[in-house]
Amino acid sequence: MLYASVSLPLSSPFTPKNTNCFSPSHFSEFPNKFSFKPSPTILSYCFQVRSITLPECRQNENTGTASNVSIANKPAECSNSPELPPRGLPPLVSALKASAEQNAASFHFPGHNRGHAAPASMTQLIGIRPYVHDLPELPELDNLFCPQGPILEAQKQAAKLFGSSKTWFLVGGTTCGIHAAIMATCSPGDYLILPRNCHVSAISAMVLSGAVPKYIVPDCKNDWDLPGGVTPLQVLKAIKELELEGKKLGAVFITSPTYHGVCSNLAEISEICHSRKIPLIVDEAHGAHLGFHPKLPRSALQQGADITVQSTHKVLCSLTQSSMLHMSGNIVDKDRISRCLQTLQTTSPSYLLLASLDAARAQLSESPDIVFNKSIELANEAKCSLKRIPGISVLENSSFPNFPAVDPLRLTIGFWELGLSGYEADEILDRDFGIVCELVGNKSITCALNLGTCRDHVERLLSGIKHLASTCSSIQNPKYRVLTDHALFDDIIMKLIPRDAFFASKRKVTVKESLGKVSGELICPYPPGIPVLIPGEVITERAVDYLLHVRSKGADISGASDPLLSSIVVCDVL
């Protein structure tokens, strides 16, 4: 499949405007809860430590406590978690513990009142402790938007470990960090160079910032029909094209590693960017673990990125939704990042999420050089065994010779030689073996290995795949059964920039009527979360055929107001 470059017949409404970020003065006026000083009497009362007096064990069936929770499938049986850190608790975890242990008469939010009114259906599931520790922005817990206490300390320790000049904890996932990174570097009308197979958050960041996309289309010409990363040459070409057209470039945005673990040569890309003082933002959602083992590729910061956003919750062990944004160098204005984050994030951040980031950092700090030993060993063993199974392909560095590395903890397994699609293989593995993978594609499935991966589960995966290989070996003409197809990006015409398309008036039309019209929605088969139609782009027959095809193969079509795709929302464009 050839991906030609995207033509952008843009009208010229892209005069830079001021951003809508808060001004620094607004930020300094933000109420600082640290001005609260409890009286000595209150203090001594507050700090009467109770070894967590859990809310009363309620007997009726509407309530639940930790003691009546039964865990059928105890993670501990397959746990790689080390013991508690010998040097004490991480700063924010420690502050949360101390705060929850106070004998407080609480008259504050959240309404479950430190678990006293926690709904039984939930406590029966997860116990009472998450509620007891689900505390608001109490003075002793610091303030995410003006950190001076344990949050500041936790963020500093994360900065030291990950090698940033400043780290922000995020409660809105990497999605929110990408929004902030792009808003902090691109004003309305500025160009943003980004891969076409970027995560949807980069597209919504362009709606928020008013940035104009200049897409780089990754090559998909490989056995896997999967997009790789972005090469330094592609970046250079895109920059030169914009320079020739006299356009203002806000930032270069690269996804590395990709969902499948393909890493781009960020060292060279950052050199190209820095020679022109252009900030390099890296979507490192899948790479928070990089750089922590000699066999793992180097992290974005180690290769010179200015901003990197990592989903700590994906490969590392924080709670879902918690991420980190790291910055380095002095091209990007750190105050602008803070203002963007304050604009984008909730004013009631969850301390469970924040503390889980601190804990994940501490877990890694304990033994940063060896913590991934076992996971990498298991991944290598699994790959060796899989490669010996007839009909099974395993994605490796050699599958993407133009890129420096593939994350060894991503296990992408291909079934096309058996005549099976990834969707079909996934269904059998899930139904018959209870194997739940991370990502399903047309030709493959991808398993994410992590610190919690255990040998039993890897062996179950191997048995499942051996079973598939033996039962499917009789499929006739397997090569013709699985169609080669991937998202089509070589005939894209952008009529409106994402922001104008987002705010344009819209209507719903039948799929047939939609051809040739301007898409009003971002339509993205999920997984893998690669947008096929982006608001503002002309709807082509090929795009529609592709979407209908992957839907028929089992992909969820996210973003489409009609997931069955019998209708599509289009922009009213004069």
Ligand X SMILES: Cc1ncc(COP(=O)(O)O)c(C=O)c1O
Task: Enumerate binding residues for ligand X (CB under 6 A).
Answer: 173-175, 199, 201, 255, 259, 283, 285-286, 311, 323, 529
Q: Give me 404's structure tokens.
A: 């420096």
Minimum separation from the CB atom of position 327 to ligand X (A): 17
Q: What are phi and psi of 402, to 5 degrees?
A: -85, 0
Q: Give me 139's structure tokens.
A: 């003075």
Query: Does the CA dihedral 190-193-196-202 come out positive or negative?
Result: negative
Q: Which is nearer to ligand X, 139 or 529 (CB)?
A: 529
CA distance 559 to 33: 39
CA distance 121 to 412: 37
The alpha carbon torsion through 555, 560, 565, 571 (nearest 10 deg) reads: -150
Beta strands in 231-319 (DSSP E): 249-255, 262-263, 280-283, 307-310
Query: Does the CA dihedral 497-495-1-441 come out positive or negative?
Result: positive
Q: Which is nearer to ligand X, 232 or 529 (CB)?
A: 529
Q: Which is nearer to ligand X, 357 or 465 (CB)?
A: 357
Tell which residue, 305, 21, 306, 339, has the closest CA to residue 187. 21
Q: What are phi and psi of 107, to 5 degrees?
A: -125, 40
Minimum separation from the CB atom of position 282 to ligand X (A): 10
Q: Give me 212's structure tokens.
A: 């104009």
Chain residue at closest Cβ approach to ligand X: 173
CB 516 within 8 A of CB 538: yes
Q: Which is nearer to ligand X, 253 or 415 (CB)?
A: 253
Minimum separation from the CB atom of position 76 to ligand X (A): 26
CB 149 within 8 A of CB 162: no
Q: Which is nearer to ligand X, 311 or 514 (CB)?
A: 311
Q: Which is nearer to ligand X, 252 or 386 (CB)?
A: 252
Q: Which is nearer to ligand X, 28 or 320 (CB)?
A: 320
CA distance 263 to 256: 5
Q: Which is nearer to ligand X, 114 or 410 (CB)?
A: 410
Minimum separation from the CB atom of position 198 to ligand X (A): 7
Provide the 8-state DSSP code for 299.
Answer: P
The alpha carbon torsion through 497, 503, 507, 511 (nearest 10 deg) reads: 30
Minimum separation from the CB atom of position 263 to ligand X (A): 12
Minimum separation from the CB atom of position 200 to ligand X (A): 8
Minimum separation from the CB atom of position 459 to ligand X (A): 28
Angle (CA) 74 75 76, round 5°:
90
Minimum separation from the CB atom of position 320 to ligand X (A): 8
Element at 481 (helix H, strand E): helix 478-481
Q: Which is nearer to ligand X, 224 or 253 (CB)?
A: 253
Q: Which is nearer to ligand X, 135 or 211 (CB)?
A: 211
Q: Which is nearer to ligand X, 155 or 312 (CB)?
A: 312
List, in order, residues 6 or more apart from 401 with CB less than 8 Å away: none
Q: Give me 215's structure tokens.
A: 């897409």
Alpha-carbon Rg for the chain, nearest whole angstrom, is 25
Q: Which is nearer to ligand X, 99 or 174 (CB)?
A: 174
CA distance 337 to 326: 10
CA distance 463 to 457: 10
Minimum separation from the CB atom of position 181 to ligand X (A): 11
Minimum separation from the CB atom of position 312 to ligand X (A): 8
Tell which residue, 410, 447, 440, has the closest CA to residue 425. 440
Minimum separation from the CB atom of position 344 to ligand X (A): 12
Give exposure, 65-75, as e/b (b: 16+ Cβ within 10 Å). Answer: bbeeeeeeeee
Minimum separation from the CB atom of position 299 to ligand X (A): 15
